[in-house]
Chains A and B, each alone.
Chain A
Amino acid sequence: MRLSGRAGAAVALLLGAWLISPTVMPLYDGPGAPDQPYRYVVPPPGYTTKTPAPTTASASIVVRNGVNTAAFANSGESGPQVSVYIPAGSLQAPPGATSIQLSAAPSAPKAPLPTDGTIVSNVYTISATAAGGDVEIIGKGDNQTPTLQMRAPSSQQPGPTFETFDGKKWTSTETIRVGQDIYQTFAPKLGVWALVQLSTRGSGGSGIGGAQLAMLVLGIAILVIVGIIVVIRLARSRAPTETPAKRTPAKRASPRR
């Protein structure tokens, strides 16, 4: 295949991969950026780190033709503990409204709590208002449904799952991991959301730590072994090649006559 053919195939493959990948995929990887310690409204028992209060994510969204333009609302922590993405056309504004106020406000978990696990993040209440009234989500499908991201307090795996509260019970939603400690879900409705560590997945405590230690030890051992092999081969390849001993040409026996 010619180079241009390979390049075309590679670009087609990339476009196809984007089409099947979840929205807001992390493109950046690099060495990673350090997060601030998680800020709780009410820290869980044993969390001794002193932090400022968590912040509210808020944004004023411009309305055009009765619907919203695309907008983000990120909370102020580094990295943001909550981030809401509202695609264009997903919110229906009341007649005459020129802007929509979007916010995701933190609060402490309170009863009733999820029955299938433990809330590990703050509880965030997401709301959108315009002209004093609530705004409804009208967007359907992956392209017009709001996206919610939350940072978990820990990068330990297995990670938590998004759950939303409808006033009576908590319901889990499909959750994907989009960063080391960042999780994403579609939010077809606003309201109350939190990250829940499901009890069936285990606490991720000492087991994960043991697995990480084993991986670390095994990984270092392999690195050392491969390093030694490469060094030996390098030394051999650089060693002067054996030259055949000089031999004095044997005297030709004088031909017999």
Chain B
Amino acid sequence: MMILRIGWRNLWRNRRRTQLTMGAMIFACAMLVFSLGYYDGFLWSLINNATEKENGHIFIALPGYYANPTLEDACPEAISSQILPDVKAEIKGVCPRLQAYALLSCGTDEENRTQPAQIIAVDYQAELANSKLAGDIVTGGFLTGDEREILLGQGLARRIRADIGSEIIFFSNAADGSIASEILLVKGIFSSGENIRDSSLAIMNLKAAQQLLALDGRVHSHRLFLRDPMQAEEIAARLNASLKTLEATPWQSIFPQIADILKVWLGVQLFTVAIYYAAMALITFNTMYMAFLERMHEFAVMQAIGLTRRLLAVLILSESIIMATASGLIGTAIGACANFILFYHPIDLSRWMESITWGGSSIQPILFCVPSLLSNLLPLLAMILLGFAVAVLPTWRLYRLRPVEALREG
């Protein structure tokens, strides 16, 4: 305890040197915590963008539907009885959907504009509770359950010259082969950030689509949202064991590129820590070693008056570890605060940057961080280890120190 007290006092004997060294360590630690949080945020965004608008964490449909979707391959809307209670506990929400292709037309006679569109029919309440569809609305509002309302992608609306309140003619073939036609009204226009999707996608209410497409009580898929998306593969396997005629596909199978990134993610994080701290170690080591050389005379005197080499080594180590731990704690606190702020209040950079589509998902220009225990603890532990590592060489030099020679040189 006395050694720790002496170590603490020694650190503040040269206040400026300690402040500079700690400042660099705090900055490095805070930046690292922030960087890891940002990387986690990037990965989470990638997974969320891929799953929360489209297929959910687990996609349930008739076998083969995902690879080759057809209008006729619909499954029952109610599948709750087929899901085991222990699996239900893992499920946050279920979004049933219909998918079809139709001609959407706006304007009359010579002004008529027609485009083929992919139609997604959704249970608006389930989507509001679970998915991020409603967050994409840029003009107008989200679905409210009115049978005749439709949402258009921004590009699609532009192509058929539709605006809020425009009358849209829906024309397609129903599942029984009959002609499906209806007049719908544009309730909202959305922009998901993916131009191809926004140029061809329209969203309407599930009940209206079921009637229109002769699919009463049936849907094409159930999209499950889990409490922990990382459990999707395991839960899909359990679902496949209990579902009789349906097939559960986890998001990892739908987006294998994103799943592959996850497998190497810890390695990437450790590599990032190593790069940051390699640079940090050089700076810190330089500062501490210079301080050690300055204090050579002092160490010789302490040895001469009876302090053992072992205690001196412990003193040097404790000074270094105290400084590293304090810096690590402060840096982690700063980095974690930044992560929490950007977790709850992400910064939208879409004014200056465009989104990128990759691996079936999209990378949005949003500064978003996810604070996690690992991203906070890893830099802190690494910083403490760094404090230990940079003290090893001075300690070794101290073990070999001859007090008489040191006093003569000093």
Do A and B form a real pair? no
